[in-house]
Amino acid sequence: MATKHEQILQYINSLPVGEKISVRQIAKDINVSEGTAYRAIKEAENKGYVSTIERVGTIRIETKKKENFEKLTYAEVVNIVDGQVLGGRAGLHKTLNKFVIGAMKLEAMMRYTGAGNLLIVGNRTNAHQYALEAGAAVLITGGFDTEDSVKKLADELELPIISTSYDTFTVGTMINRAIYDQLIKKEIVQVEDILTPLEKTIYLKTTDTVATWYQNNYETGHGRFPVIDQNIKVHGIVTSKDIMGHDHSTIIEKVMTKSPVTVMGKTSVASAAQMMVWEGIEVLPVVDQHNRLQGMISRQDVLKALQMIQRQPQIGEKLDDIVTNQFITIEDESKRSSIFRCEVSPQMTNHLGTISYGVFTTLVTESVNRYLRAQKKGDIIVENITIYFIKPVQMESMLELHPKILEVGRKFGKIDIEAYSEGMVVGKAMMMVQLIER
């Protein structure tokens, strides 16, 4: 039986794209309190079902799949640029495929403007009208208004016309940044992208017997199964160790490991890997917010995904990428180790013009990661790091990092790192890491 909260989410999801949603209307339609309706609408916004715009309200928008993650809806554009909707509200749910900056003659501008575009332009009323007629929405910069006839046309064509107080350059930068952020999110592989779905997951019920475990073990060759109740809620996990020495007629609930470690679909694969290494477990049940089973992930699934992420072309550049992309690896034959060299760019400094502590920590971590990967030791999870900042490193100076393995086993490693600039030691670090075997 679905809870009131889930019923509201299902109801919102079933609404046609473009529909307006209000707390009062949902509370009335589903017979719930306004507080419950408000909480569900907020969650729907987090899940990307709806978008809330000041002075307009909440609108059902197209739910984004990983493939079209970088596309923005006009509703999202309004929020990005702190805009005001002048007309065409009924089209706010639509997605735009490209934006055109109207800094040219009208005929040239119209050659570039087509259906599904967003024309970013100042107070040029004829451009507003022609863009709408061509099937494009309009974003007016500089806080300008437009004529009533244009607003009426926008309403008829269901194409938004938005006004923002920002200038054209700032608006272009803000929208680009938002698309970039979407691309970074798209790159992050989540548990829901790699899980074995519920219909393919072998599980046991709390009322089953040990004999059922043996049967599933014989059929699948696996020894670990989640244990659920009649509402598909996860109560435990059962492994060969748990059933050892028990009679075949023993109820699973009596032998299972209760309250197992679980993970949610929106968790990143990197976090799941850390949990598995930390807890020393091979499989993780994937659950929803009500602890109902959604599927399973295994250590092999996670490792495969981590390797795939490394091979993927990076699309949206993150701060770590900006810092570590400048790394040059030099093999030091005399000491049979690697040196990592990088120039301290202005972006990598603090307000004093010297390398920032955060950047230095990132460089140290990345040098160890690359060094151990080259030694075929697999990927790392940093457990702790001690850094000594000895001398400030100036902007545009060359920094060299010399990692050295002090001790390394199958699961753990201790690494010493020395940082040099202009022949002098400027910092030292000691790092303890867990190794994820490939």
316-374 pLDDT tens trace: 556 677 777 778 888 766 556 788 999 998 888 888 889 999 999 999 998 998 888 88
Residue 137 has pLDDT above 50, yes or no: yes
Residue 69 has pLDDT above 50, yes or no: no
287 falls in which pLDDT band (50, 70, 90)? very high
Distance CA 225, CA 260 (A): 11
Residue 67 has pLDDT above 50, yes or no: no
Query: What's the pLDDT score for residue 11?
Result: 85
Mean pLDDT along residues 69-80: 80
Query: What's the pLDDT score for residue 208?
Result: 92
Distance CA 39, CA 254 (A): 38
Residue 63 has pLDDT above 70, yes or no: no
Among the listed ranges 97-111, 146-160, 303-317, 411-425, which one has the minimum average pLDDT value?
303-317
Q: Work out the percent of the chain whose per-residue pLDDT is above 90.
A: 34
304 falls in which pLDDT band (50, 70, 90)? confident
Mean pLDDT along residues 302-307: 75
Distance CA 209, CA 185 (A): 44
Q: Choose which CATH entry (2.30.40.10, 1.10.10.10, 1.10.1200.10, 1.10.8.60) describes domain 4-60.
A: 1.10.10.10
Residue 311 has pLDDT above 60, yes or no: no
- Residues with Cβ < 8 Å from 416, sequence gap 6 or more? 403, 404, 406, 428, 429, 430
Residue 421 has pLDDT above 80, yes or no: yes
Mean pLDDT along residues 284-313: 80
Mean pLDDT along residues 230-257: 90
- Residues with Cβ < 8 Å from 135, sequence gap 6 or more? 114, 115, 116, 117, 157, 159
Residue 140 has pLDDT above 90, yes or no: yes
The segment(s) of the chain belonging to CATH 3.10.580.10 are 191-308
Q: Are strands 117-121 and 137-140 parallel, antiparallel or unpaired?
A: parallel
Among the listed ranges 223-237, 327-341, 356-370, 411-425, which one has the minimum average pLDDT value?
327-341
Query: What's the pLDDT score for residue 318?
Result: 63
Count of other CB atoms within 10 angstroms of residue 416: 15
CATH C-level class of 74-187: alpha beta
Q: Which residue has the higher pLDDT, 35 or 313?
A: 35
Residue 134 has pLDDT above 60, yes or no: yes
Mean pLDDT along residues 67-73: 62
Q: What is the mean pLDDT of the chain?
A: 85
Fold entry, domain 191-308: CBS-domain (3.10.580)
**In this structure, CATH architecture of domain 319-435:** Roll (3.10)
Q: Which residue has the higher pLDDT, 65 or 242?
A: 242
Among the listed ranges 247-251, 267-271, 378-382, which one has the minimum average pLDDT value?
378-382
- Residues with Cβ < 8 Å from 262, sequence gap 6 or more? 234, 284, 285, 286, 287, 291
Residue 174 has pLDDT above 50, yes or no: yes
The segment(s) of the chain belonging to CATH 1.10.10.10 are 4-60
Question: What pTM value is reported for the model?
Answer: 0.52
Query: What's the pLDDT score for residue 185?
Result: 64
Q: What is the pLDDT of residues 368-397, one digit of tens each?
A: 988 888 877 777 788 899 999 999 999 989
Over its C-alpha atoms, the chain yields an Rg (Å, rounded) of 28
157 falls in which pLDDT band (50, 70, 90)? very high
The segment(s) of the chain belonging to CATH 3.40.1390.20 are 74-187
Distance CA 380, CA 436 (A): 6
Residue 121 has pLDDT above 60, yes or no: yes
The segment(s) of the chain belonging to CATH 3.10.129.10 are 319-435
Residue 40 has pLDDT above 60, yes or no: yes
Mean pLDDT along residues 140-148: 93
149 falls in which pLDDT band (50, 70, 90)? very high
Residue 68 has pLDDT above 70, yes or no: no
